[in-house]
Amino acid sequence: MSDTASVPLYEDEAARDEAYRTAQRERRPYLAVEHVDRGYTVIYDLLPAGAELAPPAHAEVRERLQRAIEAIVGDDTYPTTEVSQSVGPSLGNVGPFRREAGARETADVLAQLVLPEENWVEADELAGPSADDLRRN
C-alpha cells in the first residue's frame, strides 16, 4: 500500500498549475488531490511523462476505482454527494469528495496503479486533452 501522504494536496489554482508545469518540464506523471469549490478531486495525467496506461492496467484502474468509490460512498463516515469519474488511459479525474480523506483513499488506489512505469506504454500524441483542458470543462 502506498503512502497517501505522498500524494500532494493543492489548495489553490496557482499551486496546482505550478505543480502541473513542473511535471511537464520534468516529464513525469501528475497525480494530486486538488481542493476545489465543492470539495476534493483526484487528478492523474500521464501525458507529461509521454505515457498512458497499457490496456490491462487501464481496465484494472477502472475496476478497482469503481470498488473504492462504492466503498467510500457507502460508508456513512464519508459524507458524499455524487462522485463522478472520468478515467482514461492517460488522464483521469475523480470527485468531488466532500472530505479530504475520501479523496486520499482514492488517490492511494490510483497511485498504486497509474504511477508504476511497468503499467505504461508510450502515449499516442493525439490521445486527448491535457489536465488543463479537462479543468476548463
At CA 83, angle to CA 114 and CA 48, rounded to 5? 30
DSSP 124: P
Q: What is the pLDDT of residue 94?
A: 95
Task: Give domain limits for the chain.
Answer: 4-125
Task: Using DSSP bridges, classify how beta strands 9-10 and 30-36 pair: parallel, antiparallel or unpaired.
Answer: parallel
Using left for φ > 0, alpha for ψ between -120 and 50, and beta otherwise, residue 128 falls in left
Q: What is the pLDDT of residue 71?
A: 82
Task: Enter the CATH code of domain 4-125.
Answer: 3.10.310
Q: What is the pLDDT of residue 133?
A: 54
For cell 463522478, the residue is: 84
DSSP letter string, 27-52:
T--EEEEEEETTEEEEEEE-GGGTEE
Distance of CA 1 to the CA centre of its chain: 16
- Evaluate if pTM is beyond 0.75: yes
Q: What is the pLDDT of residue 46?
A: 98
pLDDT tens series, the chain, 137 aa: 344 458 999 999 999 999 999 999 999 999 999 999 889 999 999 999 999 999 999 999 999 998 888 887 777 666 556 788 999 999 999 999 988 998 999 999 999 999 999 999 999 754 445 555 545 43
- Contacts (Cβ under 8 Å, ≥6 apart) of 117: 51
Nearest residue to 31 via CA among 21, 46, 53: 46
